[in-house]
Amino acid sequence: MQMYEKNVNQSGEQTILTPWVGVNYKITYSSDRTKEILYSLGINLLTGAIINGFQESISHLNLESTIAPNTFHVPYIIKPLRALERLDAVIENQILHDDHTWAEEAKERLRKDLLVLEYFYRDIDEANRPECYEGEKKAMEEQYETKVKVEVINGGLFYLQTNVGIQ
């Protein structure tokens, strides 16, 4: 998607638009429980400045799919693919620094559930346990397996007036 801020300059003077890449991400932390966090990041393709809350910052702007007359955009210095790599790195860093006690808590819940399973089969020799024992154990391990998933919800190239306050 490529969008241009509508020219609000009524004086007939040229309006200059600055290129930004904006991406909305969803991070999902899951085990037997799930937590989802949304991030909206934007990167200025001239300066490399990155902002969080990009979607919210541009939500009030009037954006169009075509560039208005008397408007031109500055060519970008940072290539959009490189910008995406930088935004992905921000998300990876966010995950790295997030609180991961949820994973330890899931392991503890698994440990407790496995103790209960062992209790029910305690009187049966390991070699003689029924197939359902291994199936139940595997199902528990899968249920409590910790995963982190990152999804790009959407994104685009935005050409914005330099005075929008998100420099």
Q: Name the pTM for this structure.
A: 0.83
The interaxial angle of helices 131-144 and 101-120, nearest 10 deg, is 170
CA angle 164, 5, 7 (to 5 degrees): 95
Report, as an integer, the average pLDDT of 136-146.
94
**Tens of pLDDT, residues 55-79:** 999 999 999 999 888 888 899 999 9
Longest CA–CA separation in the chain, Å: 88
Residue 163 has pLDDT above 60, yes or no: no
Cα–Cα distance measured from residue 158 to residue 42, given in angstroms and rounded to the nearest whole number: 9
